[in-house]
Chains A and B, each alone.
Chain A
Amino acid sequence: MGEHIVTSFGEELEGVDRLIREMGDLAGTMVADATRALLSSDNPLAQRVVSDDAIMDAKQRELDDRAITLIARRQPMAQDLRAVIGAIRMAGDLERIGDLAKNIAKRVGAVGQTTTPKSLSQSIESMAEMVHAQASGIVDRYVARDAAALKSLRAGDEKIDIKYTAIFRELLTYMMEDPRNITACTHLLFCAKNLERIGDHATNIAENAYYVMTGEQLPINRPKLDETAVSSAASEA
């Protein structure tokens, strides 16, 4: 892509892009830290995730300001317009990822009292790795403007959904085995759900990024495999 005739216009667009990159990096760190804090009962690390979320919020506000000013000042067209609108939406998803990571971090204290069964923490750890790889992979591919890779990464969310379903079942088993596990397991269930939601936001980012790059929307129906809603409804019935 050629350069803008008005150099400062190009710089403003780059500034917005740079913020997305920073928010993407921060989101990745927050997700990794929150999970590490959860699995190792590391309260100071959990605290850092909570304070990182304030930075994330500030960055989103800055991005909003810059994007709005850019639209008012430059009236961007075509791929520039898509990039600015896409950035606003991606920043919204990244900010939500930050919130969800913070929510996991806030549960560290509550879960910390009881020991988590080994196999369960392994499950959550591997789910967190999947989510982390998904989220940072998507932002990296956006930064590299690699639309084809985004399309396939988007499909990766399906695996996270399957993993979440498995963890859900595992947690139910522990709770049934020993009611004293219920408090900790409920917190862990929320953590797993948060990780699953982070995966969904990452998917949104992939879809937005793909649109920014190509001007085309990916098809709406991506396979959805969170079966917990179905299975819990079935067990109630």
Chain B
Amino acid sequence: MNMLTEAGVEQQLADQGNTPAIKMRGKGVTVHYGDKQALFGVDLDVPEKQVTALIGPSGCGKSTFLRCLNRMNDTIPICRVGGDITLDGEDIYDPKIDVVELRARVGMVFQKPNPFPKSIYENIAYGPRIHGLTKNKAELDAVVESSLRKAALWDEVKDRLQEPGTGLSGGQQQRLCIARAIAVSPEVILMDEPCSALDPIATAKVEELIDELRQNYTIVIVTHSMQQAARVSQRTAMFHLGYLVEEGATDKMFTNPDDKRTQDYITGRFG
């Protein structure tokens, strides 16, 4: 038994030694929509090449926080963001930052699949083309294929690349949107309830995909499904009424959370 314990301790020490780098860091993040404050000084680190899940009841600020990470909130005129958010140590709200370039580095997948009303091929090719990532048709073809392969969609669509993306099933459309996000070689992928409009099989495929993408990308996912957060993420952050309540290793959060509000929320009790 002692041997086991020692091995366990060694494993823990090794794990501590392998603490991943921090890809994105939020420090005292506040958000106001007009007079209404939606986020109150959130401090949250997003570790590199891991999946971080944001959970909490509706209106808790998790999507608002997610949208701060690629300045998606800039598109809402009454929205004001305070505090610091950095990507690789660089302030993303610095006036010198090119927002279009930022959103290429920090891609996003939305709740409802929203393919462009164009062909499957064009859905993927659009980003690399406007960002000037490819020099010729052959290179573009290669990006389209590799993106669709990474999104586990290639085999299903390779014979009908010129058909409209909107003609795919819901689950395929969502994977097309993930492929579209991947096509511009992002470093971080933000996902806002990516499976809420999908059936269990399509959900399983997207979750499998998230697990594979973790090898190369940093992922932040907002989800209302506790089981999904428990399945796909390594870190979980719990939001409530605009505050970050608790953040930690997913395994601990779903077996033995520290905060009563987290316990009440994940076990389905009155808060």
Contacts and interface: CB of A to CB of B under 8 A. Distances in A.
B227 A75 contact: yes
Contacts of A82: 255-256
Given A220-B1, A221-B1, A2 B269 contact: yes
A2 B260 CA distance: 10
A6 interface: yes
A1 B269 contact: yes
Contact of A80 (B1, B262, B267, B270): B267
Given A215-B256, A220-B1, A78 B268 contact: no
Contact of B254 (A1, A9, A78, A221): A78
Chain B interface mostly: helix
Contacts of A2: 264, 269-271
Interface in B19-73: none
B136 interface: no
Contact of B255 (A4, A6, A215): A215
A87 B256 CA distance: 17
Interface in A178-237: 215-216, 220-221
B5 A9 contact: no
Given A1-B269, A3-B270, A4-B268, A78 B227 contact: no
A79 B267 contact: yes
B86 interface: no
B263 interface: yes
Contacts of A6: 268
Contact of A78 (B1, B2, B256): B256
B5 A77 contact: no
Contacts of B254: 77-78, 81
Contacts of A78: 254-257, 262-263, 266-267
B255 A5 contact: no
A2 to B, nearest CB: 4
B255 A81 contact: yes
A40 B255 CA distance: 49
A215 B266 CA distance: 15
B9 interface: no
Contacts of A215: 255-256
A221 B270 CA distance: 39
9 contacts: A3-B269, A3-B270, A4-B267, A5-B268, A76-B267, A82-B255, A215-B255, A220-B1, A221-B1
Interface of B: 1-2, 5, 226-227, 230, 254-257, 262-264, 266-271
Interface of A: 1-6, 9, 75-82, 215-216, 220-221
Q: Please provide the 10 A-B residue pairs with the shortest distance between their CB atoms, ordered closest to farther.
A: A215-B256, A2-B269, A77-B266, A2-B270, A80-B267, A77-B267, A220-B1, A5-B268, A78-B267, A78-B263
